[in-house]
Each structure stands twice: as C-alpha cells, then as structure tokens.
Amino acid sequence: MLESSVAARTGSKPSELGGSIIAGSGKPFDRKKRLFAMNRFFRYICIASACFVCLILFLILILMFRTGVLTFRDISFADFFFSTNWNPMEEQYGALIFIFGTFALTALTLLISVPLSIAIAVFLSVFVPGWLKNALRPILDLLVGIPSVVYGYLGLTVLIPMIRNVTGSGMGDGILAAALVLTIMVLPTISRISDDAISAVPRKYSDASYALGATRFHTVWKVLLPSARSGIMYAVILGMARAIGETMAVVMVIGNTAQLADSLLKPTSVLTSNIVMQISNVPFDSTWNYALYLMGFLLLVISILMIATVRWLQRKGVQG
Amino acid sequence: MKSTQTANPFQGVGKMNRLNNRVFTLLVWIIGAAAILFIFGLLFLILEAGLPNLTWDFLFGLPSEIDEGGGIGPTLINSFYILGISLIIAIPLGMAAGIYLAEFAPDNKLIGFVRICVEALASVPSIIFGLFGIALFVEFFQIGLTILGGAVSLAFLNLPVLVRVTEESLRAVPKELKSASFALGGTHLQTISRVLIPAALTGIVTGICLVAGRAFGESAVIILTAGVTTSGEMWDFNLFSPGATLAVHLWYVQSEAIVPDAQQIAQKAAAVLVFVVLFINLVFRIPLWLKARKMKG
C-alpha cells in the first residue's frame, strides 16, 4: 500500500522523485526525533498556557485600574471612600455604604459558616464510617454546584418570609438574609476542602495520638486540625472570596437600597450588587461608570490581598 | 473538685477530657446530621416544586413578555451552548497550564509568582470577569452583548480552577508511576499522556464537573456580557446574538418580568437548573465510580 501511494505520487509528479525517497526512508524525521520534537512542542504549549493565565489577570488588573482611576477626575479621593452619599443623578459618588456593606456581610457570613463547616469537615473525615463517607462527600459536592440564582430565589421566596415572621419586621431583606444565604453557599466549599485537608493528614499522626491515650476530641483539636491548618485556611479564604464576590444571590435578598447597613434587617447594598444593578444602564464614558469600575477594582484588590495574606500566613506557619 | 486519698493528679483531667470528648462528639454528630438533612430538604424543596409540572411546551417554548404560559426554550439552549463553548476554550488551556505547573515548572521565585497569579485569578469575583467582558467585547471590539462574549468571559472565569485542579490531581499521582514510565524510556509527553493523566483522571473529571456545574448556573457574568434577552428564536446558534441563559432568565423572571405566572416559571426554571447540574455530575462520575470499583475488585 505504501509502495503504491509512493508510485502514484511519483507518477503524477516525476520532478519530486528525490523528495519521495526522503519521505519513504524516514531517516531525517524518525520516531525518536518526532517524539522529542512533540515533547518539546508540548512543553511550549504548556508554558504559553501558563503565561496566558497570568496575562488575563494582568489585563483585568490594568483595565479595571485604568477605567476606575478616571473617577478621580471628577470627584475627590476622600469623597469616594468616606462619603455615604451615593446619588448618581446629582453627581454624588460616595461608596462607603457599599464598602462597609461588603465587609459587614462577609464578616457575618464567616462568623456563622466557619465553625459549622469545620464541624461538618470533622464529621465527614473522622466520625463517619467509610461507606457513609463515600456516599456523603459527593452529596456535599452537589451542593457546591447549585447555581447562585437558585439560592437567591430560595432566599427570596422562603427565607425572607421566614425572617419577616420571626422578627416581625416589615421588609426582611438586608444583611441578615444575605448572610444566611451566603452561609449556605460557602458551607459546602469550606467544609469540603477542610475535609480533604483533614483526610490528607497522615494516618500515623492520629494513631500516635490515640496511642498516647488522647481522646477523640484531643486528637482532632490538638493533632488533626493543626496539621490541616493550611488547608483549612485555604478553604476559609476561598469561602471568603466567594462571599465577597457573590453577586446574584445577594442581589436578590439584600434589598438594593443605598443606605448604610446599621441594622441587620435594613435593606442595603454591597459592592457587587450595586455594580450589577447599575452597570447596564450607564454610558461607558461617564463618571458613574468609572465609579462602578473603581468599585470593581476595589473588589479585585480585596481578593488579591486575601490571597497574599494566605501566602504570608502559610509561610509563617512553616517557619514557626 | 474534692481531693481524694490516692491523690491522682490526673484524675480531674481525665474526667474533663471524657466530658469534653462526649460534648464534642455529640455536637459534631448533631451538626453533621443536620447538614445532611438540610441538603436533602433543600434539593427536595427545589425539585418537588418544579419537576412534576414540567412539560415539553415549557422546556422548548418561547418565553413571553406579557402573557401567561411562556417557556424557557431559547434560554435553555443558550445555557448549553455557552457552557460548551466556554469549556472548549477553558479545558485545553487550563489543563496545559496545570500540567506545566505540576510537571515542567522549575521550583523558583517566578513560578511561585505564577502560582500566586493563578490563585489570585481563582479568587477574583465573577462580576469582575463580567466587567472585564464588557470592557473587552462591548467597548473594545464593539460587538455588543453576545453569546461569544459571554462564553469567553465564562471560560476566563473557569480557567484558574481548572489549572489548580489539574495541577493538584497530577501531583497526587504516586512518584513510582512516573519513575517507572521514565525507566521504560518514555518521554515526558508520553509519561504525562499515558501514565499521569489516566492516573489523575478521577480528580480532573471531578474538577471539570464542578466547573461545568458552576458555569451552567453562573449568572452575573452572563448578565453583563450576554445580556438578559435572547434572540427570541429556537435553535439560534449565531455567536453574535444576545444570549441570556436559564440562570439569568430565572433572575429576570423573579425580579424584573411582568408576566402573571412568574412564580411558576421561576419554580420550574430553578428545578430544571438544579436537575441539569445534578445530571452533569452523575453522568460524568458514574463511569469513574465503576472504574474505581473495577480496579479495587
């Protein structure tokens, strides 16, 4: 078959007789060379992809910064960060309400979710027998995948009426409702990663601890959790990032009103919800739009700072 | 604590320990059981309200702006379409970058920095990718709110997660396998494609499932880059038509639309969303479970 195809080629193009001999002999490009060439080529593809991922981050950073910083052409630095007067119709762009809202919401969410998630992680990794563990872990994974709008929708239709009934307040939407919804959302993230971290602690550590006569409480508290610390920290930070950046679930339950959240049950607004509610109806080159991009840049800086903190904590943990 | 004649200094400690242990055990069991019950309750609540009322007319019907009886057809198609495009972009890139970090990268400051970049990108809020998408596609390329813009922005959102998952799964493969492959004379590429990736497949596929589920339900990015409307036709595969997905439609119906049956549409849309996410997870994981069982037996 090979000969026939070579013959056909030489038949149609007699001038390339030499070429067909080279192609047939396979010497210049044999299997070994081909493998090494592909190996190298593959390596370059991988390097390019890694560079591309970094490039995206820098593109985003530069773009958000360049657009966001234009805000300060029209309003002062102090006005943006320390004024609570957000009124785009009258050219007032004070973002303190949203910044405060974001921090308050995240803190409240973590306060509720971290102890619960670590308890669930310990439950899954230490308490539950093996067969049940294998059944339960995928179920938690499924919960991670439930879309945020669905959580928002449930918050709106189930949680808010419930809060209204329990507290007797008129509205029900606000920081508390948003924090409860976010807790449910970050719970599987934090507990699943912490569970992985705790399970990854070598078996001999806990065996040694039990052999020394420690109770299960002691083993978990003094051996497993400290050993899994960096993994748990990573889980908490990921959960925190999700809580800070979550948009749609929060939009649906927080009330979207530009007022300072000095009460748990007062409709307010956070950075993400304000951006998504307003971005689609502003012209691109207006101060309003620049201010929204600046708020986005702020979110970006917060999330990157969190990652830096994790790194720093981890390095300190390794040294100490 | 009263002192005894034997004066065992550890007696009190032992009692406290046992008590602590008991309280701790009870607490963890209660929280764990409550969480599991809660999850099942939640899934039941969503699915039970919507699934029994689903009809083909609803699944493949056109949405309506004013009258009752609108469907979710175009948004459902868009959801799968955008998910598919974004995965086609993100999986090769993400896996290649993950392979680089796990296998090729030297252990120096620069690579440490690259790793921080990936981690930072993974923690960037989804809305930022939406803003980025607006600036890139609406302002720079001037193509407006399109399926293409939504899919590419979504791919960027998923990229760092895929990188991390691939890197971690590859690192978890025992060193002996890799050494054995090298000892047999395999090149690095052969080792990666025939030994490491098959060995790490469970982790990678699990990661892809999580990412796909997240992308299917993602709404903030889509609202900003693909809009809240569809072209209003079924089977519209034009990359440049507006591409509201099912998740966006759920939000839109619940908070903006004026149709009288918004509540029913929202219930059914939520049920479909959750069902598809569960389905994606099951279909892709069952073969892996079977494979794991076969390897054990």
CB-nearest to B29 from A46, A127, A237 is: A127
User: Which positions ≥6 away from A215 have C-beta within 8 Å?
Assistant: B17, B18, B20, B21
Structurally, what CATH architecture does the domain formed by B56-296 represent? Answer: Orthogonal Bundle (1.10)
Chain A residue numbers touching B93 (CB-CB < 8 A): 49, 52-53
Interface A–B counts its CB contacts (< 8 A) at 265
B132 contact residues in A (CB cutoff 8 A): 59-60, 63-64
Closest CA to A125 of A137, A138, A139: A137
If we measure between CA atoms, which residue out of B252, B100, B117, B61 comes closest to residue B188?
Answer: B100
d(CA B51, CA B55): 9
Residues from chain B contacting residue A139 (CB–CB below 8 Å): 36, 39
**DSSP of B29-89, one letter per residue?**
HHHHHHHHHHHHHHHHHHHHHHGGG--HHHHHSPP-SSSS----HHHHHHHHHHHHHHHHH
Tokens read off for A239: 């959960």
In order of B90, B94, B97, B157, the CA distances from A53 in angstroms are 10, 8, 8, 10
ipTM exceeding cut-off 0.90 for this assembly? no
Task: Compute the nearest-CA separation of A6 from chain B (Å).
Answer: 31
Q: Tell the CATH topology of A77-319.
A: MetI-like fold (1.10.3720)
Q: Is the CB of B274 less than 8 angstroms away from the CB of A146?
A: yes
Q: What is the pTM of this model?
A: 0.82
Distance from CA of B132 to the nearest CA of A (A): 6
**Least CB–CB distance from B254: residue in A153, A215, A311:** A153
Give contacts of B217 with chain A, Cβ < 8 Å.
145-150
Angle between helices A271-278 and A287-319 (to 10 degrees): 150
Residue-by-residue pLDDT tens, chain B, 297 positions: 444 455 565 666 677 778 888 888 888 889 888 888 888 888 888 888 888 878 887 788 777 766 776 778 888 888 999 999 999 999 999 999 999 999 888 888 888 888 888 888 888 888 999 999 988 888 888 888 888 999 999 999 999 999 999 999 999 999 999 999 999 988 888 899 899 999 898 889 888 888 888 888 888 888 888 888 777 777 777 788 888 888 888 888 887 777 778 788 888 888 888 888 888 878 877 777 777 777 665
Can you tell me the distance from the alpha carbon of A242 to that of B112, in angstroms, rounded to the nearest whole number?
23
Which among B94, B104, B108, B97 has a CA at the least distance from the CA of A48? Answer: B97
Task: With CB atoms and an 8 Å threshold, state whether B160 touches A35.
Answer: no
- Asked if A142 and B266 come within 8 Å (Cβ–Cβ), the reply is no
Judged by CB atoms closer than 8 Å, whether chains meet at A216 and B25 is answered as: yes
CA angle B190, B192, B194 (to 5 degrees): 60
Q: Which of A35, A145, A184 sits opposite B187 (nearest CB)?
A: A35
Q: Which of residues 162-191 of B touch A (CB under 8 A)?
A: 163, 187-190
- Dist. CA A133–CA A120, nearest whole Å: 12
Nearest-CA residue of chain B relative to A217?
A: B21
Nearest residue to A262 (alpha-carbon basis) of A174, A159, A166, A151: A174
pLDDT in tens, A225-276: 998 888 888 888 888 888 888 888 888 888 888 787 777 788 888 888 888 8
Q: Which of A40, A47, A51, A56 to mutate to test the interface with B (most CBs of B within 10 A)?
A: A56
pLDDT tens-digit readout, A5-25: 444 444 444 445 555 444 555
Q: Cβ of B125 under 8 Å from any chain A Cβ?
A: yes
Domain ranges for chain A: 2-58, 77-319
Q: Is B254 on the interface with A (CB under 8 A)?
A: yes
Interface contact A136-B36, CB threshold 8 A: yes
* Domain boundaries along the sequence of chain B: 56-296
